[in-house]
Amino acid sequence: MTLAGLDGSGTVSLISTKSGGDLQKNRSLIENLSPGTTSHMILKSAQKGTPLIKIGKGSPKVMMVSGVHGNELPPQIAALQLIEELQETKLRGTVYSIPFAAPWATMENTRWFKGSDLNRVSSSDGSITNNILKLIQMLNIDSVADFHSTKLQSNPGRESVFCSKNPCLGSYEIGDHITTKTSSELICYDKAGSMYNGALEDECNLRGIPAVTCEVVSENGEVNSGSPERSLLQMQYYLEHFKIIK
């Protein structure tokens, strides 16, 4: 499907057809969405699987992912808002967006996709996040940002950006830019994968693709006031780092 973007280059396609879900059933999500033609089209696509939106053309090429955990709603809401905004923005480069990595999990308002934590299986062949990782490599993506939300008194339990310095110093540079521009805290590890196994961010960094994970604060399955706006701000400064937007 084609989007009516500023330069006419926007498209919607599907990464996986095994992950579809009716997002209209998640009232907490739907009640916080702003109406828009593009958002409606993406919600419809998500019934069939994981939607991939491409906006812009040329380099740099970045990918932004939300909904790896289905009950982390603010970044999924923010992703749709950003896509709507980018339709009216002249971009320097290409933005690939996955607003709902696992629509079924978002429909069910659950962290898990059919028993699996998708942010621990990015290196496991056949998982949705592994499919995303393979697509990142196939498209020669220059950088990846994975957007989440965290409830208080959990891990990390605060607005933050995860990054690492090895083997990709670019990960740290992205994280430093976002946290300098926002009130997000920088959480930096010396080596990618030293804390978690199978996280999309780490698997990208280990393959030489600079990546970060951005977190805002919101209760699981709910939308705390201001949390989509905070996630949107992280997304905007991520794109600003690459001068894709000004």
CA distance 147 to 64: 7
CATH of domain 2-241: 3.40.630.10
Q: What is the predicted pLDDT for the residue at 6?
A: 45
What percent of the chain has pLDDT above 70?
96
Task: With 0.75 as the threshold, say if the pTM is over it.
Answer: yes
For 68-127, write each residue's pLDDT tens digit: 999 999 999 999 999 999 988 899 999 999 999 999 999 999 999 999 999 999 999 999
- 147 forms beta bridges with 66, 214
Closest CA to 75 of 236, 230, 242, 241: 230
- 66 forms beta bridges with 147
- 76 forms beta bridges with none
For 127-159, write each residue's pLDDT tens digit: 999 999 999 999 999 999 999 999 999 999 999
- CA 18 to centroid of chain Cα atoms: 19
When pLDDT is averaged across residues 20-27 and rounded to a whole number, the result is 98
Locate tokens 């605060």: which residue? Answer: 158
Q: Is the dihedral of CA 173, 174, 175, 176 positive or negative?
A: positive
